[in-house]
Chain A
Amino acid sequence: MAALPRRRSLGLRRAVATPAPELGGVPLSAGALVETGRPPGGGWRSHLGSLLFLAPAVIWLAVIVGYPLIGTIRDSFYNGNSTSFVGLANYKTVFSTADILVTFRNNVIWVVVAPFLLTFLGLVFAVITERIRWATAFKTVVFMPIAFSMTASGLVWNSIMNIDPHVGVLNATLETVSDWFSPPGLYPVNTSAGQTIASLAASGLRPGPGGTLVSSASVSPGQSLRLGLIGISPATLELVGAKSAQTVSPVSGAVNGLVWRAFSPAHPTVRNQVFPGEDGIVGMHLTLLGSDGSSVATTTTDVHGDFSFTGVSSGSYHVQLDSTNFSSGFTGIYWLSGNQSITPTSGLSQTAQALLSIPLVDMSMIIAYLWIWAGFAMVIIGAGLAAINREVLEAARIDGATEWQTFRRVTMPMLAPVLVVVFVTMIINVLKIFDIIVNMAPSVSQSNTLATELYYVGFSSPPAYGLASALAVLLFILVVPVIFINLRRIR
């Protein structure tokens, strides 16, 4: 008995994941010899005893897993409440209903994209954590989300990917970055509401290149311009502190003028006159363009909407309202949109593009999924890496292989079986994906998978048991190959 503790730790290491070979075939000590004869411990009672141990498991599995498996196949040929036989009608419905075909498309996206990215990410993490001193801390951080429910995780990511940059940290980050490069203008054009920059021009202006507005008439030093805009709300002007507009008189040697909101309730159709109560447009960035369209000078309007380019040499000029004034800046990406897609554009037919386009919401949910499961892949692949014989790696290095060659030619082939385990496990996992979708996708109909569709079809009222069972059977057929992979591996 003294050897017991040692045996125990050895057993643990092997046995947890390893189907160790049966010890029965190995000639053991006295015990094995006895086994070949009559069991000494009480004959049939001993047989019955150990069979009884198996009984609860077998009964439980037969009633709650085995029988239902057959029941589902039966139900799939029956109507909604399993009372009359309908043949293949449910399967025909599955393959002819557009909504259900969408679930197949989504399942294919999940199965193709998620396990691949996950295995890749797990491999990268496992390899690079071998080179840092704080690997345990890193692994704990990345592995931790696996303890969370996918419900909680889905809801967390729902908030992170919120379109409003005041709620979603992802869009808030993108807004900050975007504002560095192109800050929003004071008078953003609401393109999503159908507003265009050209529609802002009221008098003395025409659309210029690149989202600008340019004075219709040319101007020389000593002349004034009146540039009228509409479609800018009084509330916006009040917010930026605009004051009432006044007509500007020409000044010799300067190009000056007024940019104002050319709308008066008293004269709603007259655009080219400045009426009392109309406000100047403050803070408008202007550029003086030479006759060849080049920039000569820049200025900004004051609170009355006045501007002046002084010291201008004689010639013919245009005044441009810069595009930055109308830039709406970053308004947030609708990560959970089922209507926006990531579509390949290069030289493919429209059908191919439609087939290959991935709704943004699917990609967003896959990102959340990666967050949950990357640690799992990392830990398993990391264990696989640790099991690789270091002498083999050293030998490769001594032979002059570079780090990359060692990885590509020695580590990867030895690791391949582990990568397959992770990949296959994730395919199974992804086929059944349910929690993330119902908690993260705002419109489930766009991002339904087999598992969610099955739930909504089978457990709404009136229930469509037949249709749901047909979906369950299809789901089962998809995992059957993995059953055989497992059996081969374990035997």
Chain B
Amino acid sequence: MSAVQAIASPVTSSGRRLAIRLRPGRMVLNVVLALIAIFWMVPTISLLVISLRPSSSYGVSGWWTVFTDPAQLTLQNYKALFSTGFATGGILDSVITTALITVPATLLVTAISSLAAYSLVFGRWRGRTFVFLLIVGLLVVPVQVALIPVAQLYDAFFNLTGLHVYATLPGVVIFHVAFGLPFGIFLMRNFYTGIPKDLLEAGRIDGAGEWTLFRRVVLPLGLPAAASLAIFQFIWVWNDLLVGLVFLGGNAHHTLTIYLFSFTRTLSNDYWVIATGGIISILVPLAIFFAFQRYFVRGVLAGAVK
């Protein structure tokens, strides 16, 4: 219990910083930290620079030569990747495919989790704690455990109804939602328990139905948590490789990670595609990371159990 409480406070509370004392060691500390920060940026910078160098220069000279010879920078790799437009299996098609999986999966998880958390916190039925603990138990179940049975389930569904789910976008979304729900419910439920029940009881006395209470009282109050969950889930699904590989199987459309993964066998020849596609693939999560860093950090702190 204390563990979770300890991590609950906001990250950057400058007032809590230990007293800064002037010491010669502090200079050294700053230099060492600066070196670590540079080291941490090198991979990202290298990917960006490789994507901006001619594709033929990979393996001939190092990307760091750009610092002495900036003239080699070019946009030709991006032009080459974009030149095929939205052709199936291309980079732009992969961006669309990834978005078509990520956005529904995120919205569904956020909506369903919020509803379930409402029921778990404000519902008046027995066994709420038991159901919640059951869901908490599912938090760490690895996706690997469900891959094969769910694939078989999709097949059985096709045999029954003639509707394809395997190798379709809905098939991927369904799987992602299922494995996003335990964390989503956990996060939303914990947030909702902080909402005073008087608020709802007042509404109930006035004759408001459960849907109205959820829609008018709990949902607006829970927006910050919903935002954390949505951002966390969005980045999680956007960056997934395994679920896409399995459930998008024979589909001609790829997610961005599958697109990148498909070049790992021809790495040295096609590294320019990987670098350029890699930069394109991280743009969206990076933009979200910087725009909503506070919410993202909250999601991470809450997700320490996932």
Residues of A within 8 A of B (CB): 4, 7-8, 10-24, 28-32, 34-35, 39-42, 45-47, 49-54, 56-58, 60-61, 63-69, 71-72, 75, 82, 125, 128-133, 135-153, 155-160, 164-167, 169, 172, 371, 376, 379-380, 382-388, 390, 393, 414-415, 417-418, 420-422, 425, 428, 431-432, 434-435, 438-439, 450-451, 454-455, 458-459, 465, 468-469, 471-473, 475-476, 479, 482-483, 486-487, 489-491
Distance between Cα atoms of A428 and B139 in the complex (Å): 11
- Given A142-B40, A164-B59, A489-B3, also A23-B207 (CB < 8 A): no
Q: Is the CB of A160 within 8 A of B150?
A: no
Q: Is the CB of B205 within 8 A of A34?
A: yes
Distance between Cα atoms of A132 and B28 in the complex (Å): 11
For the A-B complex, the count of residue pairs with Cβ-Cβ distances under 8 Å equals 440
* Minimum CB–CB distance for B3 against chain A, Å: 3
**Which of A52, A159, A473 counts the most chain B CB atoms within 10 A?**
A159
Q: Is the CB of B7 within 8 A of A384?
A: yes
- Given A13-B9, A17-B190, A420-B3, also A166-B201 (CB < 8 A): no
Q: Is the CB of A65 within 8 A of B9?
A: no
A164 contacts which chain B residues (CB < 8 A)?
A: 59
- Given A49-B209, A472-B148, also A386-B200 (CB < 8 A): no
- Asked whether B24 is an interface residue with its Cβ less than 8 Å from the other chain, the reply is no
Contact pick for A142, options B37, B175, B285, CB 8 Å: B37
- Asked whether B69 is an interface residue with its Cβ less than 8 Å from the other chain, the reply is no
Contact pick for B112, options A4, A17, A20, A57, CB 8 Å: A57
> For residue B50, which residue of chain A has the nearest CB?
A159
Distance between Cα atoms of A129 and B40 in the complex (Å): 15
- Asked whether B81 is an interface residue with its Cβ less than 8 Å from the other chain, the reply is no
- Given A148-B282, A149-B282, A386-B13, also A155-B264 (CB < 8 A): yes
* Minimum CB–CB distance for B239 against chain A, Å: 3
Q: Is the CB of A149 within 8 A of B190?
A: no
Residue contacts A-B, CB under 8 angstroms, 10 given: A12-B225, A17-B7, A31-B205, A51-B125, A60-B112, A148-B286, A159-B50, A383-B6, A434-B241, A487-B133
Contact pick for B190, options A19, A29, A388, A428, CB 8 Å: A19
* Minimum CB–CB distance for B65 against chain A, Å: 9
Q: Is the CB of B286 within 8 A of A144?
A: yes
A51 contacts which chain B residues (CB < 8 A)?
A: 119, 123, 125
Q: Is the CB of B301 within 8 A of A379?
A: yes
Residues of B within 8 A of A (CB): 1-13, 16-18, 20, 26, 29-30, 33, 36-37, 40-44, 46-47, 50, 58-64, 112-113, 115-116, 118-120, 122-125, 131, 133, 135-150, 152-153, 174-175, 177-179, 181-182, 185, 187, 190-198, 200-202, 204-205, 207-211, 214, 221, 224-225, 228, 235, 238-242, 245-246, 249, 256-257, 260-261, 264, 267, 271, 274-275, 278, 281-282, 285-286, 288-289, 293, 296-298, 300-302, 304-306
* Minimum CB–CB distance for A49 against chain B, Å: 4
B44 contacts which chain A residues (CB < 8 A)?
A: 144-145, 148, 156
A167 contacts which chain B residues (CB < 8 A)?
A: 58-59, 62
* Minimum CB–CB distance for B134 against chain A, Å: 9
- Given A14-B8, A431-B142, also A148-B285 (CB < 8 A): yes
- Given A71-B152, A131-B20, A151-B261, also A428-B140 (CB < 8 A): yes
Q: Is the CB of A50 within 8 A of B225?
A: no
Q: Is the CB of A53 within 8 A of B123?
A: yes
Q: Is the CB of A50 within 8 A of B205?
A: no
Q: Is the CB of A147 within 8 A of B241?
A: no
Q: Is the CB of A19 within 8 A of B306?
A: no
Q: Is the CB of B191 within 8 A of A15?
A: yes
Q: Is the CB of B26 within 8 A of A131?
A: yes
Q: Is the CB of A150 within 8 A of B204?
A: no
Q: Is the CB of B4 within 8 A of A147?
A: no
Q: Is the CB of A41 within 8 A of B209?
A: yes
Q: Which 8 pairs from chain A and chain B are nearest by CB?
A: A31-B201, A71-B149, A417-B3, A64-B178, A50-B123, A11-B194, A149-B239, A49-B210
Q: Is the CB of B194 within 8 A of A438?
A: no
A458 contacts which chain B residues (CB < 8 A)?
A: 147-148
Q: Is the CB of A54 within 8 A of B204?
A: no
- Given A46-B124, A147-B286, A383-B9, also A68-B204 (CB < 8 A): no
Q: Is the CB of A18 within 8 A of B136?
A: no
* Minimum CB–CB distance for A28 against chain B, Å: 6
B204 contacts which chain A residues (CB < 8 A)?
A: 31, 34, 39-41, 46
> For residue B258, which residue of chain A has the nearest CB?
A151
Q: Is the CB of B123 within 8 A of A31?
A: no
Q: Is the CB of B6 within 8 A of A57?
A: no
A486 contacts which chain B residues (CB < 8 A)?
A: 136-137, 139-140, 305
> For residue A440, which residue of chain B has the nearest CB?
B264
- Given A386-B9, A387-B5, also A158-B178 (CB < 8 A): no
* Minimum CB–CB distance for B202 against chain A, Å: 6
- Given A15-B225, A151-B241, also A439-B264 (CB < 8 A): yes
Q: Is the CB of A489 within 8 A of B4?
A: yes
* Minimum CB–CB distance for B233 against chain A, Å: 13
Distance between Cα atoms of A144 and B136 in the complex (Å): 28
* Minimum CB–CB distance for A214 against chain B, Å: 39
- Given A16-B190, A155-B274, also A65-B4 (CB < 8 A): no
Q: Is the CB of B120 within 8 A of A149?
A: no
Q: Is the CB of A50 within 8 A of B118?
A: yes
* Minimum CB–CB distance for A80 against chain B, Å: 11
- Given A60-B177, A420-B3, also A82-B152 (CB < 8 A): yes
Distance between Cα atoms of A82 and B221 in the complex (Å): 49
Q: Is the CB of A468 within 8 A of B7?
A: no
A415 contacts which chain B residues (CB < 8 A)?
A: 6
Distance between Cα atoms of A276 and B185 in the complex (Å): 87
Q: Is the CB of B238 within 8 A of A487?
A: no
Q: Is the CB of A12 within 8 A of B115?
A: no
Distance between Cα atoms of A29 and B198 in the complex (Å): 7
A63 contacts which chain B residues (CB < 8 A)?
A: 153, 178
